[in-house]
Amino acid sequence: MSFKHKIYTKKLYVIVLMAVLGIALPAVSFGQSDTMNPKKSLSKREREALKKQTSEWRAEYKKHNTENLRKLKEPKRIVPIVDDRTHRQSSGELRNAAAEIDSIIYNKLQSEETTFNPITTDSQFVRRIYLDIAGRIPTEEEARAFLKDRSSDKRADLIDDLLLRPDYRMQMFNWLTDMLRVRDVNTLRGNTSGYQAWIMRQLATNQAWDKIVHELLVAEGNLVTNPATGWLLRDRGMQLDSVSNTLTTFLGADIACAQCHDHPKADWTQRDFLELAAFFGSTYIPDRDVRKIGPLHRSGRNIVAPSVAIVENRADEYLVYPEDYAYSDAKPGEKVEPQFPVFDHLVREGSYNDPAVRREAFAYWISHKRNGQFAAAISNRIWKKLFGRAIIEPVTAIDTFDEAVNEELLIQLRLLFYNLDYDLMAFQRVLYNTRAFQSQGSLTPAEGVEYQFPGPLIRRMTAEQTWDSFVTLAKGPGVNDYESPRLEEMSRFDIFEPDAFNELNRSNRDWYAELFKEGEDRSREIHKKSLRIAGGMQSKKYLVRASELRIPTFDSHFLRMFGQSNREVSGDGSREGGVPQVLMLLNGDVNRIFEDRESYFYKKLRSLSEGQQMESLYHSFLSREPTKEEKQLLMSGKMSIPAIAWILVNTREFMFIL
């Protein structure tokens, strides 16, 4: 018997005993609270329960509840993400910019008595350019159309076409969210659907890189009112780590150790770091734990979290030197005054005395056109994305440009990015049109050997490229049909007015149930719709673009097995092979694509002869015609279509970008 039952049994025993002894019982019932003295006869809990039966309490409760429910906001009108990008640079300007880069690389190669690799074949090029820009292999029809084209400008035309398709922003979303360490859900920070949609919209409209970074650094509000706060909320509760990650991501400056002591190698002191961090000293990001707000169950917490996690400026907040500060230039506990240790002339001194504008000043400083390291950092990252190796490795440690394998090349790229007004798409457009990029790939050089870019490195497809290529084989032209309902998802959180949050400390379950019902109903509707389109692994409907799946996916998913980043560390994805990947290709659910007669590549084979089937399979998987020997070998073995498809997928030609 529980303790509670023992108490009730004891009370009942006392009442019975009083009746036997003839002691008068108080005339009380739960419907007649005015005839008793609650202080003497009932516990506090019982008195509260009794109070709620009165008409006065019910009327007051209904009034209070109605007022708060009235504060629920109607979801904002959802404006869909639409690709709106144009090529502003003329073809002549494009060719000149590409030629300047090629000239620098060629001169460096000549100094080492070598030259560019041979130019890629059309089959190699069409596959590479689709993987790099669209994030997937081309369909059979896309590959055949390019191979049949006899125009002299067909490569430049295909590059221009792909850059304006939705595929571009989808693959860029994978790359950029990895760089920014975006994760789907965190209990303390909330669902990041709005933040992800914000990033996707910046890519869809080709927002300039300096404007994207500026918006991330100055954002105020919460994930609902201003999704760009996602960057500052990513390291919530770890202010110095947040500043360190900001400098590493946007400047390529690895100065994390300067949080605790002077940098042993770079010219950064602990005071330098703290003075930069002081620009964020007045940024208030409370550590309010939604798990401790009232009697909320999990779905209620998830709805509350995006609005509770906030970023705002407070004049009474500031950074102080740590208690273990060991240098004589400041005292522990002393207020840190914000200062720029380098490029301080870019921002007028004293213009950031007001705590409200310090982050604005920092954002202006970091993305200033005369802060060459800002343009160099992103140029270096994009070069690695296209060529497999950066000009300065690692991309997070750009201390001085003379560490580059080709300093002149990095300076030229920085200047190009600046002249293109920080246009990410236009910058990549130039690189894709270079002779260096369109050259055949090279094997990774031995450790310690400098690579001078006679062509991109041969490398395995990323996890996302591999997955999206499988989706292409299964769905063909419908590869982009499903897009995650991020904007709808975000709308389910957009139901609270600030005043309503003042009531979050109330402990009445009924009030909570009514308050969160709208958001939970909307959540179920969105999730049901999402699951209907992207169902279980048993259905190929599950096969949607990597950019539309959970970030990151669950640990046993194909993407994680093939090296998808866990988004804890920027650029933490891997292209390394291993036993789990072999087992996934041998026995994983993804093999159902090759066995499913409704897969796009399979359906097209029904009306074809055996020889035509081989040609169709090769164009679908490898973007080329099969050789005479390959045809004979596969046809003589009398193998099934799924077996041939599985063989093609496991070739190095499929898994690697040549």
**460-507 pLDDT, tens per residue?**
999 999 999 999 999 999 999 989 888 888 877 766 555 555 555 444
Residue 363: alpha-carbon gap to chain centroid: 21
For residues 563 and 535, what is the distance between their CA atoms, to the nearest angstrom? 23
Contacts of 23 by beta carbon, 8 Å cutoff, 6+ apart: none
Residue 16 pLDDT exceeds 60: no
Q: What is the mean pLDDT of the chain?
A: 83
Q: Decide which of 492 and 360 is more confident.
A: 360
Residue 440 pLDDT exceeds 50: yes
Q: Quick check: bond before 498 cis, omega within 30?
A: no
The encoded tokens of residue 524 equal 């179920």
For residues 247 and 253, what is the distance between their CA atoms, to the nearest angstrom? 6
Give the residue carrying structure tokens 């000293």: 281
What is the rounded average pLDDT of the residues 331-351? 81
Poorest-confidence range of 127-131, 152-156, 451-455, 503-507?
503-507
Contacts of 450 by beta carbon, 8 Å cutoff, 6+ apart: 405
**HEC profile for 547-558?**
HHCCCCCCCCCH
Give the residue carrying structure tokens 């840190």: 336
Q: Please, is 595 exposed, middle or buried when counting C-beta atoms within 10 Å of its C-beta (0-12, 13-18, 19+)? A: middle
Q: Please, is 515 exposed, middle or buried when counting C-beta atoms within 10 Å of its C-beta (0-12, 13-18, 19+)? A: buried
Query: Which amino acid is located at 573 in the chain?
Result: G
Q: Please write the tens of the pLDDT for every residue from 585-603.
A: 887 778 888 888 999 999 9
Q: Quick check: bond before 264 cis, omega within 30?
A: no
The encoded tokens of residue 488 equal 């709808």
The encoded tokens of residue 334 equal 């002393």
Residue 425 pLDDT exceeds 50: yes
Predicted pLDDT at 459: 95
Query: Which amino acid is located at 37 in the chain?
Result: N
Predicted pLDDT at 533: 65
Residue 144 pLDDT exceeds 70: yes
Do the beta carbons of residue 279 and residue 210 sit within 8 Å?
A: no
For residues 353 and 32, what is the distance between their CA atoms, to the nearest angstrom? 65
Poorest-confidence range of 57-71, 98-112, 124-138, 332-346?
57-71
For residues 475 and 176, what is the distance between their CA atoms, to the nearest angstrom? 25
For residues 74 and 156, what is the distance between their CA atoms, to the nearest angstrom? 47
The encoded tokens of residue 147 equal 């191979």
What is the pTM for the complete model shown? 0.85
Predicted pLDDT at 645: 93
> Cα dihedral angle (508, 513, 516, 519), rounded to 10 degrees?
180
Give the residue carrying structure tokens 């590493």: 248
Do the beta carbons of residue 374 and residue 366 sit within 8 Å?
A: yes
Q: Please write the tens of the pLDDT for every residue from 94-124.
A: 999 999 999 999 999 999 999 999 999 999 9
Helix axes 463-475, 166-179, angle to 10 degrees: 150
SS3 content of the chain, % helix, strand, coil (to 5): 55, 5, 40
Length of the chain: 658
What is the rounded average pLDDT of the residues 294-298? 60
Residue 4 pLDDT exceeds 50: no
Quickly state the pLDDT bin for 45 (edges 50, 70, 90).
Answer: low
Q: Please write the tens of the pLDDT for every residue from 158-212.
A: 999 999 999 999 999 999 999 999 998 765 667 888 899 999 999 999 999 999 9
Do the beta carbons of residue 468 and residue 479 sit within 8 Å?
A: yes
The encoded tokens of residue 225 equal 């009112």
Residue 400 pLDDT exceeds 90: no
Residue 2 pLDDT exceeds 60: no
* Terminal-to-terminal C-alpha distance of the chain: 73
| Long-range contacts (CB closer than 8 Å, 24 or more residues apart) made by 396-399 | 396/248, 396/252, 396/253, 396/254, 396/570, 396/571, 397/252, 397/253, 397/254, 398/251, 398/252, 398/253, 398/373, 399/253, 399/254, 399/265, 399/266, 399/267
DSSP string, 113-161: T--PPPBPPHHHHHHHHIIIIISSPPPHHHHHHHHH---TTHHHHHHHH
Angle at 450 between CA 448 and CA 455, to 5 degrees: 135
Query: Which amino acid is located at 73 in the chain?
Result: K
For residues 543 and 439, what is the distance between their CA atoms, to the nearest angstrom? 33
